[in-house]
Structure 1
Amino acid sequence: MSDLTGRTALVTGATAGIGRAVALQLGARGADVIVHGRDPGRGAEVVGEIARRGGTARFVAADLTDAGEVAQLAADAGEVDILVNNAGIYDFTSTPGTSAESFDRHVAINTRAPFLLVGALAPGMAKRGRGAIVNVTSTAATSAAPIGAAYGASKAAVELLTRSWATEFGADGVRVNGVSPGPVRTAGTAHVADLLGQANIRGQVGEPEEIAEVVLFLVDDRSSYINGTVVLANGGERSALPG
C-alpha cells in the first residue's frame, strides 16, 4: 500500500470523474488533498467523502480559463508535493464547427492551466528536492480522428510538455509523467461510453478508479525510476496490435 502521509496533493478538476477518483485515492493513502473545482457544493461533497474515509482535504475554487485565477490557485495551494493536472474539457466537433472561443477554451484549460501551475509549483518542489507531477492526457493526443481536433491538439501539447518538464526538473528530484486514458465512464461520457468502449481490445469502457490507480502509482515512490513517460490506459487499441 502507498503511504503518502505528510505530502500535500493538488488535484485539478477533482469534483467529478477521474479527478474525484484520484482525490479519494490520494486521501485514502494519507495525502492532504487540495480539491480543485468550480462548484463549492460538489467540492464540499468530495472533501466530506475524503474525511469520512479518514483523510484530510480542503476545497479551492478557480476558473482555469482565467490565468489570474490559476495563479491564485497556485498561491492558495502553497507548497505541494504532488500535482495532478486532471481538469479538462472536450468538444468533439469538426474543425469548421469549432469556434475561436471554443478553441481558446480548450487551450486555456487543457494546456495553459497545467503550464502555469507547473511554472508556479514545480520550482518549490525542486528546491525541496522532491515532487511528483502527473498530467492526465488522452488517447486523442496520438490517435487522429475526423472530429475533436482542438481537443486532441491541446492534449498532444500536454504530452510534449510532460517530457519537457521531466527534463527541466528531473535533476532536482521532481518526476513528471502522464497517463493517457481511453474512453472512461464519467458523467460527461455516460451516454456514449459503452459504444466507445467497443473500440478497444477489452471491448469495454474504463472506470475512473482504474485511471486513479495508475496516477497513484506514478506519484508514489514505487515508481521512482519512471520520469518523462506517458502511460497508456486504454484497454488496448485494436489498430496498435497485429492481426
Structure 2
Amino acid sequence: MALRELTGKTALITGSTAGIGAEAAGLLAEAGADVVVTGRDSDRGAAVVRAIADRGGRARFVAADLTDLASLHRLATEAGHVDILVNNAAAFPVAPTVSQDLESFDAALAANIRAPYLLTAVLAPGMVAKGAGSIVNVSTMAARIGMPGLSVYSATKAALESLTRTWAAEFSPAGVRVNAVAPGPTRTNMVLSTLGEDAAQQIAKTTLLGRLATPREIAEVVLFLATDRSAYLTGATLAADAGRTAA
C-alpha cells in the first residue's frame, strides 16, 4: 500500500496525459496528492483522471497547450496554489542540425524552456510564501552526451538542468526544493513514434542494463523527488539512465 505522504498537497504535472507524466500523476495521487493533470488531448486527460479515481485518488484535468502563452497562463490560474510542480511536458524534434526546421525548433524552445520557466515564475512564489514546495524538472540523458539528431532537444534540456540549479539557488533558502531527473531511453509513445522501435532498442543497448526503461520506473524517481524522502536534495539532477552517462 502506498504511503499517503502527500496528503493535503496539490501537484501539477505537465504532459501528464500519457507516458512518464501519466505514471507520475498516478503515483502522486496514490501518495495522497490532489493532482492537476494537463495536456492538449482532453480524451486522454479524462482517461488519466478516471484511472486515478478508480484507484481512490483525486485528480482533475485542465487542457493546455504549453506552446501557447495564453493557454499557459490559463493553466497557471486554474491550477491555483500548488505544492509540487512537475515540468514534464516536452517537444521532441529529431533532425540533423543542417535540416532542422525553424517551426519545430521554436516549438521546442517554447515547450521545453519557456513553459517551465513561466510556470515556475508564477507558481514558485506561492510555495515560497508557504515555506515549502518541490519542483521537479524532467530532463534527458541527451543533455549530457552528444546524440546525433537531437541537437534542439538536448540543448533545451541542458538549459532546463541549468535552470534547475539556478532555481534551487533562488528558492531553496525559502524551503522550496528544485531538482531534475534525467531519464535514459524510455518506452513511451513519443519515443517509439519518433525514433521507432529498432532505433530505441539500439540506444537502449548502449546502457549498462541494456534495456528501455518503463515510464513507471522514471515516475518513481519523480515521486521520490516530490516527497520528503528527498528532503536534503536540491539543485540536483538524478540520472535515471541505466548507467549510460556513468560508464
**Fold similarity call, TM over 0.5:** yes
Partner of 1:41: 43
**Where in structure 2 are the equivalents of 1:21-170 lying within 5 Å?**
21-170=23-172
Partner of 1:240: 246
Give the CA deviation at 1:2. Answer: 5.2
Distance 2:91 2:14 in 1: 12
Which whole-Å deviations, capped at 9, do the CAs of 1:183-222 have from their partners, x for residues lacking one? 0001122333323211101010101000111011101111
Letter in 2 for 1:90: F
Give the CA deviation at 1:224. Answer: 0.7
What SS does structure 1 have at the residue aligned with 2:98? coil
Give the CA deviation at 1:3. Answer: 1.2
Letter in 1 for 2:204: G
- Which of 208, 223, 227 is equivalent to 1:216? 223
Which whole-Å deviations, capped at 9, do the CAs of 1:78-132 have from their partners, x for residues lacking one? 0000000000011220111111111111100011100000000000100010100
Distance 2:228 2:155 in 1: 31
Structure 2 runs not aligned, ≥5 long: none
What SS does structure 2 have at the residue aligned with 1:60? strand
Distance 1:182 1:2 in 2: 29
2:214 aligned with 1:207: yes
- Which of 181, 184, 193 is equivalent to 1:182? 184
What SS does structure 1 have at the residue aligned with 2:112? helix
Aligned residues: 240
Distance 1:74 1:110 in 2: 16
Structure-1-length-normalised TM-score: 0.96
Structure 1 runs not aligned, ≥5 long: none
Which whole-Å deviations, capped at 9, do the CAs of 1:60-89 have from their partners, x for residues lacking one? 011111122111110110000000000001
What SS does structure 2 have at the residue aligned with 1:42? helix
Distance 1:121 1:161 in 2: 15
**What RMSD over aligned residues (CA atoms) do the two structures have, in Å?**
1.0
Letter in 2 for 1:215: V
Structure-2-length-normalised TM-score: 0.95
Distance 1:194 1:146 in 2: 16
Residues 198 and 2 of structure 1, relative CA distance in 2, 3 Å threshold: farther
Distance 1:51 1:228 in 2: 33
Give the CA deviation at 1:146. Answer: 2.3
What SS does structure 2 have at the residue aligned with 1:176? strand
Distance 1:81 1:188 in 2: 28
Give the CA deviation at 1:12. Answer: 0.2
Partner of 2:236: 229
Distance 1:232 1:56 in 2: 30
Identical-pair percentage: 52
After the TM superposition, which segments of 4 or more aligned residues of structure 1 sit over 3 Å from their partners? none
